[in-house]
Amino acid sequence: MTVSGFTFNAFSENTYLLHDATGACAIVDPGCYEKAEQQALKQFIEAHNLRVELLLNTHCHIDHVFGNQFVLDTWPGTPFLIHEADLATLRAVPTYAPAYGFPLYNPAEPTGFLTPGTPVKFGETELEIRLAPGHAPGHVVFYHPATREVIGGDVLFQGRIGRTDLPGGDYATLIRSIKEQLLTLPDETTVYPGHGPATTVGAERASNPFLR
Protein backbone atom coordinates (compact mmCIF):
# COMPACT_ATOMS: atom_id res chain seq x y z
CA MET A 1 0.00 0.00 0.00
CA THR A 2 1.16 3.50 -0.85
CA VAL A 3 0.12 6.49 1.25
CA SER A 4 -0.08 9.88 -0.51
CA GLY A 5 -0.86 12.91 1.62
CA PHE A 6 -2.34 16.35 0.97
CA THR A 7 -2.68 19.26 3.40
CA PHE A 8 -5.94 21.13 2.91
CA ASN A 9 -8.10 23.94 4.31
CA ALA A 10 -7.49 26.59 6.96
CA PHE A 11 -7.03 23.94 9.64
CA SER A 12 -4.02 22.40 7.80
CA GLU A 13 -5.76 19.04 7.78
CA ASN A 14 -4.07 15.98 6.30
CA THR A 15 -6.08 14.13 3.67
CA TYR A 16 -4.77 10.70 2.70
CA LEU A 17 -5.05 8.74 -0.49
CA LEU A 18 -4.31 5.04 -0.04
CA HIS A 19 -3.58 3.05 -3.19
CA ASP A 20 -2.05 -0.24 -4.28
CA ALA A 21 -0.62 -1.96 -7.35
CA THR A 22 -4.09 -2.74 -8.74
CA GLY A 23 -4.85 0.98 -9.11
CA ALA A 24 -7.57 0.82 -6.47
CA CYS A 25 -7.62 3.58 -3.88
CA ALA A 26 -9.39 4.79 -0.77
CA ILE A 27 -9.77 8.46 0.14
CA VAL A 28 -9.50 9.13 3.87
CA ASP A 29 -10.74 12.38 5.44
CA PRO A 30 -11.04 14.59 2.35
CA GLY A 31 -10.54 18.08 3.75
CA CYS A 32 -10.64 19.81 0.37
CA TYR A 33 -12.89 22.86 0.63
CA GLU A 34 -11.58 25.29 -1.98
CA LYS A 35 -11.94 24.48 -5.68
CA ALA A 36 -8.16 24.39 -6.10
CA GLU A 37 -7.90 21.80 -3.33
CA GLN A 38 -10.60 19.67 -4.88
CA GLN A 39 -8.88 19.80 -8.24
CA ALA A 40 -5.51 18.89 -6.71
CA LEU A 41 -7.02 15.67 -5.33
CA LYS A 42 -8.85 14.89 -8.57
CA GLN A 43 -5.84 15.58 -10.77
CA PHE A 44 -3.56 13.34 -8.67
CA ILE A 45 -6.03 10.47 -8.95
CA GLU A 46 -6.39 10.93 -12.69
CA ALA A 47 -2.66 11.37 -13.30
CA HIS A 48 -1.93 8.09 -11.53
CA ASN A 49 -4.83 6.24 -13.18
CA LEU A 50 -6.35 5.37 -9.83
CA ARG A 51 -9.79 3.91 -9.24
CA VAL A 52 -11.66 5.29 -6.23
CA GLU A 53 -13.29 2.41 -4.36
CA LEU A 54 -13.83 3.79 -0.85
CA LEU A 55 -14.42 7.06 0.99
CA LEU A 56 -13.55 6.79 4.69
CA ASN A 57 -13.66 9.21 7.63
CA THR A 58 -11.59 8.59 10.74
CA HIS A 59 -14.02 10.98 12.45
CA CYS A 60 -16.39 13.70 11.41
CA HIS A 61 -15.18 17.07 12.67
CA ILE A 62 -15.56 19.87 10.14
CA ASP A 63 -11.96 19.94 8.87
CA HIS A 64 -12.02 16.25 7.95
CA VAL A 65 -15.32 16.20 6.04
CA PHE A 66 -15.30 19.26 3.76
CA GLY A 67 -14.70 17.17 0.64
CA ASN A 68 -17.01 14.22 1.28
CA GLN A 69 -19.73 15.36 -1.10
CA PHE A 70 -17.18 16.44 -3.70
CA VAL A 71 -15.80 12.89 -3.72
CA LEU A 72 -19.28 11.39 -4.04
CA ASP A 73 -20.19 13.77 -6.86
CA THR A 74 -16.93 13.17 -8.72
CA TRP A 75 -16.89 9.38 -8.33
CA PRO A 76 -20.57 8.38 -8.10
CA GLY A 77 -21.39 5.19 -6.30
CA THR A 78 -18.35 5.27 -4.02
CA PRO A 79 -19.17 3.67 -0.65
CA PHE A 80 -18.85 6.28 2.13
CA LEU A 81 -18.19 4.74 5.53
CA ILE A 82 -17.88 6.15 9.06
CA HIS A 83 -18.38 4.70 12.52
CA GLU A 84 -22.03 5.02 13.50
CA ALA A 85 -21.12 6.67 16.82
CA ASP A 86 -19.86 9.69 14.85
CA LEU A 87 -23.03 10.18 12.82
CA ALA A 88 -24.26 12.93 15.15
CA THR A 89 -20.86 14.63 14.85
CA LEU A 90 -21.17 14.61 11.06
CA ARG A 91 -24.75 15.89 11.07
CA ALA A 92 -23.82 18.75 13.40
CA VAL A 93 -21.30 20.26 10.97
CA PRO A 94 -23.85 22.28 8.90
CA THR A 95 -25.06 23.99 12.09
CA TYR A 96 -21.69 25.61 12.78
CA ALA A 97 -19.85 25.64 9.43
CA PRO A 98 -21.02 29.18 8.46
CA ALA A 99 -19.90 30.58 11.82
CA TYR A 100 -16.42 29.13 11.19
CA GLY A 101 -16.29 30.88 7.80
CA PHE A 102 -17.31 27.95 5.59
CA PRO A 103 -20.74 28.86 4.21
CA LEU A 104 -20.33 26.66 1.13
CA TYR A 105 -19.94 23.40 3.06
CA ASN A 106 -21.99 20.71 1.29
CA PRO A 107 -22.98 17.91 3.69
CA ALA A 108 -22.94 14.24 2.74
CA GLU A 109 -24.56 11.20 4.33
CA PRO A 110 -22.68 7.93 4.76
CA THR A 111 -23.80 4.89 2.80
CA GLY A 112 -22.74 2.48 5.53
CA PHE A 113 -20.90 2.08 8.80
CA LEU A 114 -17.54 0.74 9.89
CA THR A 115 -17.37 -2.15 12.33
CA PRO A 116 -14.22 -2.58 14.45
CA GLY A 117 -12.88 -6.07 13.93
CA THR A 118 -14.32 -6.25 10.41
CA PRO A 119 -11.75 -5.06 7.85
CA VAL A 120 -12.44 -2.86 4.85
CA LYS A 121 -10.96 -3.77 1.49
CA PHE A 122 -10.00 -2.06 -1.75
CA GLY A 123 -8.03 -3.72 -4.52
CA GLU A 124 -5.58 -6.10 -2.84
CA THR A 125 -5.49 -4.04 0.35
CA GLU A 126 -7.16 -4.85 3.65
CA LEU A 127 -7.34 -2.38 6.53
CA GLU A 128 -8.05 -3.16 10.16
CA ILE A 129 -10.63 -0.92 11.83
CA ARG A 130 -9.76 0.07 15.40
CA LEU A 131 -12.17 2.13 17.49
CA ALA A 132 -10.28 4.91 19.28
CA PRO A 133 -12.71 7.39 20.88
CA GLY A 134 -11.74 10.30 23.11
CA HIS A 135 -11.28 13.03 20.51
CA ALA A 136 -14.62 12.16 18.89
CA PRO A 137 -17.14 9.49 19.96
CA GLY A 138 -16.83 7.39 16.82
CA HIS A 139 -13.18 7.99 15.99
CA VAL A 140 -11.47 5.06 14.28
CA VAL A 141 -7.97 4.42 13.00
CA PHE A 142 -7.09 2.35 9.93
CA TYR A 143 -4.18 -0.06 10.28
CA HIS A 144 -2.40 -1.88 7.46
CA PRO A 145 -0.44 -4.74 9.03
CA ALA A 146 1.57 -5.65 5.93
CA THR A 147 3.32 -2.28 5.77
CA ARG A 148 2.84 -1.36 9.43
CA GLU A 149 1.12 1.93 8.70
CA VAL A 150 -1.80 3.49 10.51
CA ILE A 151 -4.01 6.38 9.42
CA GLY A 152 -4.60 7.87 12.84
CA GLY A 153 -6.80 10.93 12.43
CA ASP A 154 -6.70 13.20 15.47
CA VAL A 155 -5.78 10.63 18.13
CA LEU A 156 -1.98 10.77 18.28
CA PHE A 157 0.40 13.37 16.88
CA GLN A 158 4.13 13.93 16.97
CA GLY A 159 4.75 14.90 20.59
CA ARG A 160 1.12 15.50 21.44
CA ILE A 161 -2.38 14.03 21.43
CA GLY A 162 -5.77 15.03 20.08
CA ARG A 163 -7.95 17.69 21.67
CA THR A 164 -10.53 16.56 24.19
CA ASP A 165 -12.35 19.87 24.76
CA LEU A 166 -14.74 19.44 21.82
CA PRO A 167 -18.23 17.89 22.16
CA GLY A 168 -17.88 14.17 22.76
CA GLY A 169 -14.23 14.46 23.81
CA ASP A 170 -12.81 12.90 26.96
CA TYR A 171 -9.18 12.90 28.07
CA ALA A 172 -9.17 9.60 29.98
CA THR A 173 -10.94 7.87 27.09
CA LEU A 174 -8.42 9.22 24.58
CA ILE A 175 -5.42 8.07 26.62
CA ARG A 176 -6.96 4.63 26.96
CA SER A 177 -7.59 4.49 23.20
CA ILE A 178 -3.99 5.39 22.45
CA LYS A 179 -2.62 2.80 24.84
CA GLU A 180 -4.96 0.02 23.71
CA GLN A 181 -5.24 0.69 19.97
CA LEU A 182 -1.95 2.33 18.97
CA LEU A 183 0.72 1.49 21.52
CA THR A 184 -0.10 -2.18 21.05
CA LEU A 185 1.22 -1.91 17.47
CA PRO A 186 4.89 -2.54 16.61
CA ASP A 187 7.28 0.32 17.42
CA GLU A 188 8.20 0.73 13.74
CA THR A 189 4.56 1.40 12.78
CA THR A 190 4.26 4.72 10.96
CA VAL A 191 1.45 6.94 12.23
CA TYR A 192 -0.06 9.31 9.68
CA PRO A 193 -1.94 11.90 11.75
CA GLY A 194 -4.72 14.28 10.83
CA HIS A 195 -2.41 17.28 11.27
CA GLY A 196 1.35 17.71 11.16
CA PRO A 197 4.13 15.30 10.25
CA ALA A 198 4.12 11.52 10.42
CA THR A 199 5.65 9.80 13.41
CA THR A 200 6.10 6.25 14.72
CA VAL A 201 4.56 4.31 17.56
CA GLY A 202 8.02 3.76 19.05
CA ALA A 203 8.94 7.45 18.98
CA GLU A 204 5.73 8.44 20.70
CA ARG A 205 5.99 5.65 23.24
CA ALA A 206 9.48 6.87 24.13
CA SER A 207 9.05 10.63 24.18
CA ASN A 208 5.43 11.81 24.01
CA PRO A 209 4.91 13.71 27.30
CA PHE A 210 1.22 12.80 27.43
CA LEU A 211 1.97 9.07 27.47
CA ARG A 212 4.42 8.96 30.38
Overall residue count recorded for the chain in this entry: 212
Q: What is the pLDDT of residue 124?
A: 97
Q: What CATH superfamily classification does 2-211 receive? A: Ribonuclease Z/Hydroxyacylglutathione hydrolase-like (3.60.15.10)
96-134: pLDDT as tens digits: 999 999 999 999 999 999 999 999 999 999 999 999 999
Q: What is the pLDDT of residue 156?
A: 98
| 112: CB partners within 8 A, 6+ apart | 79, 80, 81
Give the residue-averaged pLDDT of 139-162.
98
Average pLDDT of the chain is 98
168-201: pLDDT as tens digits: 999 999 999 999 999 999 999 999 999 999 999 9
Rounded Cα–Cα distance for residues 158 and 161 (Å):
8
DSSP string covering 166-179: STT--HHHHHHHII
- 188 phi, psi to nearest 5 deg: -80, 0
Give the residue-averaged pLDDT of 9-30.
98
Give the residue-averaged pLDDT of 69-87.
98
CB 52 within 8 A of CB 78: yes
Give the residue-averaged pLDDT of 13-34.
98
Q: What is the percentage of the chain residues whose pLDDT exceeds 90?
A: 99
pLDDT bin (cut points 50, 70, 90) of residue 212 is confident
